[in-house]
Amino acid sequence: MTQAIYPGSFDPVTKGHLDIIIRSSKIMDRLIVAVLDNPRKVATFDIEQRVEMLKMVTKPYPNVEVDFYKGLLIDYAEQKKIDILIKGLRAISDFEFEFQMALVNQKLNPSIETLFMMTNSKYSYLSSSIVKEIAALGGDIRSLVPPEVFDMVVSEYS
């Protein structure tokens, strides 16, 4: 059984995130979408809201679970007995950071592999930060976030 974790802050979930989730769910028997609860980072949406958003958008995918974790991703992966991490890449800058993280994770636990998945080109510019900025300035984010979370994101900024 192939299992993987797709970690992230998902603050909020975007269509780019959902693209990676859908594509990963097609090649994995089980995919855990794991929301990082990072106390050093100020999130717009609390952990419960982010988990709720992800549960709404992943409902059609029976092999996708949503969870959250604190601490090191590698510890979470060990706890879940999963040895594949999925990382979505948009640009070279993402690769540089994620490559460094993959090497650190490999050092901490050589049995855990990181698989990089390129985002669909139509989402290569998209990030949660961009969504939040556009929403805060009253812009239309319909094409940027899944419809299930649109109202939740917009209401945060109205």
Helix axes 147-156, 47-58, angle to 10 degrees: 160
Q: Which position among 23, 55, 80, 90 bears the catalytic label?
A: 90
Q: Radius of gyration of the chain from Cα atoms?
A: 15
Known catalytic residue at 128: yes
Residue 107 catalytic? no
Catalytic residue among 15, 17, 50, 132: 17
Catalytic residue among 9, 24, 25, 128: 128
| Rounded Cα gap, residues 105 and 108, in angstroms | 5
Please report, to the nearest 10 degrees, the dihedral formed by the alpha carbons of residues 71, 76, 78, 83 taken in order: -120
Is residue 19 within 8 Å of 146, Cβ to Cβ?
no
CA pair distance 87, 112, nearest whole angstrom: 13
Q: Is the peptide bond before 39 cis (omega within 30 degrees of 0)?
A: no
Catalytic site includes residue 50 = no
Is 9 designated active site? no
Which of 40, 41, 81, 107 is flagged as catalytic? 41
* DSSP letter assigned to residue 116: E
Residues taking part in catalysis: 17, 41, 90, 128
